[in-house]
A and B are shown apart, each in its own frame.
Chain A
C-alpha cells in the first residue's frame, strides 16, 4: 500500500484557472506538509499543518491554500494560476512527537504545468 499518495500525478491547465491537488497518507501521521520543487530541483516548504496549527512559509502567495478535511488528508488549492506556479508539488507527512525525529515521508509528486 502506498504510504503517501497524491492525485493527480500530472496536471496541465491554463493561466487564471483554479485547481486542487489531493494528498492522502495512511501512516497514521498527524502532521502533513506541502513542498514546491522548481525546474532546477530546488525544494521549498510551503505549509506544514497538524490539527493544532498551520505554519505558512511567508513567501507563499495567498492564492495557495491548504485544506484538511481530516488528519489523513491535506489538499492544496491554487487560485488564479500563473506561469510561475509550474513546478512539482510534493506532499509529505510525519508524526509529531516531542523530541522525535519527525521523519517525513514524501508522496510521488504532482507535476503542474501552467500554459
Chain B
C-alpha cells in the first residue's frame, strides 16, 4: 500500500535554513504536496510539485524531488518563529482520490 514517511521533529535556530525530508512508496504518485498546520488551525497548502519536476522554488521555500529514490524535501530559508508548525508531506496517485499524508514533522525554532 501507499506509505509516506517523515521524521517527527526538527529543531533549528532562528535565521538558519530548515530542511524537512519525506519519503514515499507509491511510484504512481503524480503530485506531491507540502502542507503547514499551526496549533489549533487547519492545513494550509504551502506548495506542490509535479512528479516530472525535480525542483520548485517559491520565495523562501524550495522543494526538491528525487523521483528515483522517492525522496521529497522542503527547505525553508531564513527560518522565523512564525514558521513554527507541523509540516505534512502528502502524495496523490491519480483521479479524485484523497491525499496520503505523512505523520508530520514538528518544526521547532530555537532563538
Contacts and interface: CB of A to CB of B under 8 A. Distances in A.
Interface of A: 31, 33, 35, 40-48, 50, 53, 55, 57, 90, 92, 94, 96, 101-109
Contacts, number: 61
Contacts of B88: 43
A46 B101 CA distance: 12
Name the residue among B86, B97, B99 with the largest chain A CB count within 10 angstroms: B99
Given A106-B42, A107-B42, 6 more contacts: A40-B103, A42-B103, A46-B98, A57-B98, A103-B45, A105-B45
B42 A55 contact: no
B96 A50 contact: yes
Contacts of A43: 43, 88, 101, 104
Nearest to B45: A103
A106 B43 contact: yes
Nearest to A31: B96
A42 B99 CA distance: 13
Contacts of B48: 101, 103
A42 B50 CA distance: 24
Given A102-B31, A106-B43, A45 B96 contact: no
A58 B39 CA distance: 29
Contacts of A96: 96
Contacts of B103: 40-42
B41 A55 contact: no
A31 B43 CA distance: 17
Interface in B21-46: 31, 33, 35, 37, 41-45
